[in-house]
Structure 1
């Protein structure tokens, strides 16, 4: 992930993302692998619920915190 303007991953949404939803599909990915979706405030719960119902959701982190971790 770069410092480019982050946009929500919800279909049709162009709002600024403020959350990172880290997930993986255990049928396809190794346990340590993390894919990411970005979410604005409005879509955080919806995207989290979608991933959570499939047991894919691993973590929800503020975008600024995620980027700070990447810089470490």
Structure 2
């Protein structure tokens, strides 16, 4: 990831980089300390897990809770 900065620590030092499947930003896998993330190799595989960064996880969670709280209707 040339010229990219980690969305968590904001540095471009070498490390295990993962690309968020939601916003497309890059992060050092080691900077993401959320429990239950799995191992870097699970995300690095072509057919592995999709990495979603902490920022997108929070907004995805908010969207999900809005959907269920209004009877499953999507509000624009």
The two structures have a TM-score, normalised by structure 1, of 0.37
The structure whose residues are more often strand, as a share, is 1
> RCO higher in 1 or 2 (8 Å CA, sep ≥ 6)?
1
